[in-house]
Amino acid sequence: MRAVQFTLSRLLQGLALVLAVVVLNFVLVHAAPGDPVETIAGASGGMSEELKAALRVQYGLDKPLAAQLGVYLGKVAGGDLGYSYFFNLPVAGLIAERVPATLLLVITAVLGAFVIGTVLGVLSSRKPNGLLSQFINTLSLVGFAAPVFWTGIMLVILFASVLPIFPVSGMRAIDSAGASGFTDALDVLHHLVLPALTLGLVYLAQYSRLSRASMLDVLGSDFIRTARAKGLSNRVVLYKHALRNAVLPVVTILGLQFGNVMAGAILVETVFNWPGLGRLAFESVLRRDYPTILGVLLFSSIVVVVMNLLTDYCYRLIDPRIKTS
């Protein structure tokens, strides 16, 4: 019963956050100088005043701000994010079209980094000053300091000219139209290697260091000594007792980070022409396509809220002591 209440209140909080994001973005867009109709007119090489006025009416820009906000909120609640000024298509559809590519990229990168990083952390914790530990220290420094878009471009140089075994642009080969399911999947995976590697390296650097520190921390505690004193094998102590506790901080960071995973996605998708949400956002910002920008911002914030809720949930699965307080 208490768990239900807790979940409900968290859901309400999340809803309030999303609502605040909608209002803020709306206010920002309307506080800025310039008007989308002028932008459209500029892009299409001049337009008569009558046409501009007609467009303003069509997009509802002639109504008072409060009314526009009300209309926008009402539509968002119904899943309608408006029409893109640039594509003249529903924003919700545009986003839905781009989501799978971004999800594929982000999940591959983050999950891969999480698994490899945890393994590296555990292995290195057995020898705190060993070679692997030093490698992790170096990796975490390098992974933080190298700008992700630059790493990506360096990989492009390497794999486009020196070692052309992976494609460096797009998600499918140009001549792949009509390919069967399996060939198509292979093609996508082939294109996924470099973008996922670029994005994953950033997270691998963090997770390996974090899980190493966390493992060392846990291995020094009393219950580990007890477990060893009971005569449990090293393997059981490491993987059943220590790892379960050591993985908590990593999961926290993993959940908190979904807020800035979007940043990585924008940069990496731009470098590799990956047809995802990040590139849609970037291109919409350049085109001043306000409904699309608002839609992507809103969608990303909803994803973050949902991920935070899921993290909480995972947290309680891993550590049953954490009650709904």
Q: Which x/- pattern, by CB under 8 A, does the window 130-149 give for other proteins?
A: -----------xx-xxxxxx
Which of 86, 192, 281, 292: binder of other proteins (CB under 8 A)?
A: 281
Nearest C-alpha neighbor of 257 from the set 145, 100, 111, 141: 111
Sole window of 92-100, 187-195, 252-260, 313-321 interacting with other proteins (rule: CB under 8 A): 252-260
Angle between helices 243-256 and 91-125 (to 10 degrees): 150
Which of 44, 48, 88, 161: binder of other proteins (CB under 8 A)?
A: 161
Sole window of 44-52, 110-118, 224-232, 285-293 interacting with other proteins (rule: CB under 8 A): 285-293
- Supply the minimum distance, in Å, between the C-beta of residue 276 and other proteins: 13
CA distance 94 to 180: 24
Rg (CA), the chain: 24
Give CA separation, 200 vs 51, 140, 247, in Å. 48, 12, 18
Which run of H or E residues covers position 244?
helix 243-256
CB 176 within 8 A of CB 182: no
Nearest C-alpha neighbor of 190 from the set 90, 285, 104, 87: 104
Tokens of 170: 């797009």
Our finding on whether 275 is near other proteins (CB under 8 A) is no
Which run of H or E residues covers position 166?
none
**Whose Cβ is closer to other proteins: residue 188's or residue 212's?**
212
| Length of the chain counted residue by residue | 325
**Whose Cβ is closer to other proteins: residue 20's or residue 96's?**
20
Q: Which x/- pattern, by CB under 8 A, does the window 193-232 give for other proteins?
A: --------------------x--xx---------------
Our finding on whether 27 is near other proteins (CB under 8 A) is no
Q: Read off φ and ψ for residue 83, nearest 5 degrees.
A: -105, 140
Angle between helices 131-145 and 91-125 (to 10 degrees): 150
Sole window of 104-112, 113-121, 290-298, 312-320 interacting with other proteins (rule: CB under 8 A): 290-298
Q: By rule CB under 8 A, what count of residues binds other proteins?
A: 54
Binding site for other proteins (CB under 8 A): 13, 16-18, 20-21, 24-25, 28-29, 31-33, 128, 141-142, 144-150, 153-154, 156-157, 160-161, 213, 216-217, 256, 259-260, 262-263, 266-267, 270-271, 281-282, 285-286, 288, 293, 296-297, 300-301, 304-305, 308
